[in-house]
Amino acid sequence: MSFDLKEANLSDIEELAEVLDKTYADEPIISQLMPSVDTKDRVEFWAGWFRNDFSKPGEKMFKMVEAESGKIVAFLKARYPAPKVVDAEEVQAEFPEGSNAELFGHWFGNMDHFEDKHMNYEEDYFVRVISTLPEYHRKRLGRRLLDRFLRDADDAGAKTYLQATEVGAGLYPRLGFKDIEDMVTNTPKGPVVWRCMMREPNPLKN
């Protein structure tokens, strides 16, 4: 079984959204955001988020495609250095019926707060999302995606920032990421901790 790493485009949006939905279905906070929303509406929401971001400067996505079937099985959503878009009139996707709108607002606000606190948008690189279908785990697909993105950051001599779930955080120190602060989001089922991490350029060569 072989896989091809390619840059994703707008025509991939719906399939990428399906991968995200399946990957994070049981993640402690994601599973609470849309507790009573059916799969179709969840995927439509994520697709709207991706589609909106594609229009912003610096946004890029990479995909891993199963060569035999042409199926997208993993992707990385990233942001390259660019001015931050601040548009009060920007149209945001509405939360699907059955969502926890209060928790959504708290979560998105938390992520924005810590990005603003730790990132220089015009100099740093940012791993927004990395997602692999559960049945394709342990094939180093996520590592290949990260290596591809981090190569660009290293070539630019730039730092890379990310916000890691506890499940995913184990991979990142091996690539040179270091913890800088915990991001705590309070949920009805208790606090959920994601880890803010930063990577210096070419950390494994120093």
Looking at residue 195, which CATH number applies to its domain?
3.40.630.30
Identify the burial level of 64 via C-beta atoms within 10 angstroms of its C-beta, where 0-12 means exposed, 13-18 middle and 19 or more buried.
Answer: buried
3-class secondary structure, 197? strand
The dihedral over CA atoms of 182, 186, 187, 192, expressed in degrees to the nearest 10, equals: 10
Q: Which domain range does residue 43 map to?
A: 3-89+96-205
3-33 pLDDT, tens digit each: 999 999 999 999 999 999 999 988 889 889 9
Q: Confidence band (pLDDT; 50, 70, 90) for 123? A: very high
Q: Does position 88 have pLDDT exceeding 50, yes or no?
A: no
**Which are the contacts of 145, defined by CB distance < 8 A and separation ≥ 6?**
5, 62, 64, 74, 75, 76, 130
**Number of structural domains found in the chain:** 1
The answer to whether the CB of 175 falls within 8 A of the CB of 136 is: no
Put simply, whether the predicted model's pTM sits higher than 0.75 gets the answer yes
26-54 pLDDT, tens digit each: 888 988 999 899 999 999 999 999 999 99
